[in-house]
Amino acid sequence: MRVVVCLSVLSLFWLSCGGGGRGAQFDEGIGKPEVEVIIVNEFGLEEGPEETTEGLPDVPEGFDQAEEETRQDCPGAPGCPCRTNNDCFSYPFCLEAWLDYFCMYPCVEDNECPSGYKCVMVAVSGQDTIFGCIDANTTLCKPCTSDADCANQYIKGQNLCLSFGEIGSFCGVECRGKAD
């Protein structure tokens, strides 16, 4: 009986190996994955589809339009880029914003300032105090070593230096209410 089983198994192996020299055949057109092409620009960032403004709301009336109008008055007008107070004519305050320095916009209430800005009193010794739009996020995402590095000199709040492990520590800003 053992001999019969062994011969049966050997004959199955012999029949299954068949000869022909080529392994299993596959249709190369079916199941072949498509290759996704990712273009990386000179900054190492992936380029995505072109941005479109289609379907986005129009720019609200007010500050943004006024900013475009004052840009024609640059240098020196509110909203214009600056490096020192001497670069600003009508309101002589060159203030730090999140991405750059700009000549301060005058204001009386917060609703006269763009989103993320607050209307606060700005005083310099020997001059009258005035109210101006101050960027509440001046220190947002800036590298830091302590909470003191994240303080905004014009707006009171609890900004914190937050650790992101190996990549470093960066400023986070306090948020309150719907507008912040």
Structural tokens at position 18: 């068949």
* Segment of 43-47, 115-119, 141-145, 174-178 carrying the highest mean pLDDT: 141-145
Predicted confidence (pLDDT) per residue in 46-94, tens digit:
554 555 556 554 544 444 444 444 456 788 888 889 998 889 887 778 8
pLDDT for 26 beyond 60: no
Which DSSP state fits 15?
H
Residue 116 in tokens: 């993320």
pLDDT higher than 60, residue 116: yes
The answer to whether the beta carbons of residues 107 and 129 sit under 8 Å apart is: no
- Averaged confidence pLDDT in the chain: 70
